[in-house]
């Protein structure tokens, strides 16, 4: 086995220690114990300082930071509750059903009516509905309610018989649409400007004076808005005291702004004594097709 001759390593030959190097080595050897104690003392002081720093900060946290964290946590809970309340406030309240009725409209036919309300000022709602009359269900129909609108909806002149004068009103496929203030700043004012219709000159004629089996309701409808409408639909509610006794559905072809149209309706004599009428426009003002171009 070959052994390396360390004397042959470059730079290893003819090297000598200087006097300064010898003095340093001697001093280290002489003070080795003291240097070790100094190093140990340094690390002890470092640990004490570091531990004191940590203790100071933990004490500061428990004296103030902990309570600040508790305060922040409480504020976060309050903010979350406020956001939940805001979301609830902005959610649509359900459709209110204020009453139902069914009555004979002709021999072997009947109307089923529900008076409904959308209590929300910034929500539009569309829905399907049907009635359970006790003798079965009517076909489904589609309806809508403008924001903050109350009106009757119904199934008219349905062939058959009804088992109760207060049928169940069944809603389905309810779709809510929020109307943003970015689109319409004041929804109520916007609708009111388009929903300016009124009735004038109501005349109630009894059946006896006409020599007929039914009496008659005569009145005028006036369009007081600045908008022209293409075949608008109206529901005419006939009230006997607090009771919505009957609802008529009519169409008025091409109703121009400012125009007045005469309306004539046949009505059972039992409805006419003390009757008053309410006009319910059944017009979706958000649908551009309802306006005359």
> How far is residue 135 from each of residues 103, 131, 138, 163, 167, measured CA to CA in Å?
14, 10, 9, 5, 10
Quick one: what percent of the chain has pLDDT higher than 90?
A: 58
Higher pLDDT, residue 8 or 121: 121
> How far is residue 18 from each of residues 11, 12, 24, 242, measured CA to CA in Å?
16, 15, 10, 123
| Per-residue DSSP letter, 229 | B
| Per-residue DSSP letter, 258 | T
Which stretch of 77-91, 94-108, 172-186, 203-217 has the lowest confidence by average pLDDT? 77-91
What's the whole-model pTM score? 0.70
Q: What is the mean pLDDT of residues 69-77?
A: 62
240 token code pair: 């006997």
Q: Strand 123-132's sheet: what is its strand order?
A: 141-145, 123-132, 168-178
pLDDT tens profile 197-232: 999 999 988 877 777 778 899 999 999 999 999 999
Higher pLDDT, residue 127 or 68: 127
Burial of 34 (0-12, 13-18, 19+ CB in 10 A): exposed
Q: Average per-residue pLDDT in the chain?
A: 84
99 token code pair: 């009453």
pLDDT (0 to 100) of residue 191: 98
Q: For the domain 195-293, what is the CATH superfamily, name and number?
A: Lipoprotein YajI-like (2.60.40.1620)
Which stretch of 67-71, 101-105, 224-228 has the lowest confidence by average pLDDT? 67-71
For 224, phi then psi, to 5°, come to: -95, 5
Has residue 74 got a pLDDT over 60?
yes
Which stretch of 12-26, 57-71, 175-189 has the lowest confidence by average pLDDT? 12-26
Q: Which fold has domain 93-185?
A: Immunoglobulin-like (2.60.40)
Has residue 145 got a pLDDT over 90?
yes
Higher pLDDT, residue 65 or 289: 289
**One fold for both 93-185 and 195-293?**
yes
Q: Is 99 helix (H, G, I), strand (E, B) or coil?
A: strand
pLDDT (0 to 100) of residue 32: 67
Determine the Cα angle at 148 with ends 145 and 149, to 5°: 45
pLDDT (0 to 100) of residue 84: 46
Q: How far is residue 179's CA from residue 194's CA, in Å, rounded to a whole number?
A: 16
| Per-residue DSSP letter, 290 | G
Higher pLDDT, residue 102 or 81: 102
Q: What is the mean pLDDT of residues 169-181?
A: 96
Has residue 288 got a pLDDT over 90?
yes
pLDDT (0 to 100) of residue 263: 97
Has residue 13 got a pLDDT over 50?
no
pLDDT (0 to 100) of residue 170: 97
Per-residue confidence at 9, pLDDT binned at 50, 70, 90? very low
pLDDT (0 to 100) of residue 75: 64
pLDDT (0 to 100) of residue 273: 81
Quick one: what percent of the chain has pLDDT higher than 70?
A: 70
Has residue 88 got a pLDDT over 80?
no
Q: Is 201 left (phi over 0), alpha (psi -120 to 50) or beta?
A: left
pLDDT (0 to 100) of residue 22: 62
Q: What is the mean pLDDT of residues 178-192?
A: 95
- Domain borders along the chain are 34-67, 93-185, 195-293
């Amino acid at each position: 086995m070959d052994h390396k001759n360390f004397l042959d390593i470059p730079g290893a030959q003819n090297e000598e220690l200087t006097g300064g190097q010898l003095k340093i080595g001697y001093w280290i050897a002489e003070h080795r114990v003291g240097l070790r104690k100094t190093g140990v003392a340094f690390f002890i002081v470092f640990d004490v300082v570091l531990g004191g720093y940590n203790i100071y900060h933990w004490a500061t946290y428990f004296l103030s930071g902990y309570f600040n964290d508790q305060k922040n946590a409480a504020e976060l809970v309050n903010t979350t509750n406020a956001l939940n309340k805001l979301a609830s406030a902005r959610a649509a309240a359900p459709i209110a059903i204020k009453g139902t009725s069914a009555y004979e409209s002709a021999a072997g036919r009947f109307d089923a009516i529900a008076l409904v309300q959308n209590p929300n000022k910034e929500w539009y709602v569309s829905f399907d509905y049907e009635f359970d009359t006790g003798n079965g269900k009517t076909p489904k129909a589609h309806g809508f309610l403008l924001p903050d609108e109350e009106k009757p909806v119904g199934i008219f002149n349905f062939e058959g018989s009804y088992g109760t004068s207060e049928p169940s009103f069944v809603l389905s496929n309810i779709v809510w649409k929020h109307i943003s203030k970015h689109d319409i700043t004041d929804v109520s004012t916007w609708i009111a400007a388009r929903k300016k219709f009124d009735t004038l000159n109501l005349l109630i004629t009894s059946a006896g004076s006409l020599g007929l089996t039914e009496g008659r309701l005569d009145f005028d409808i006036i369009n007081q808005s600045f908008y022209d409408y293409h075949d608008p639909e109206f529901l005419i509610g006939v009230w006997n005291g607090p009771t919505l006794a009957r609802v008529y559905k009519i169409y008025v072809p091409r109703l121009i702004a400012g125009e007045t149209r005469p309306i004539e309706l046949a009505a059972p004599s039992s409805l006419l004594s003390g009757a008053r009428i309410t006009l319910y426009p059944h017009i979706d003002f958000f649908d551009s097709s309802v306006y005359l171009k």
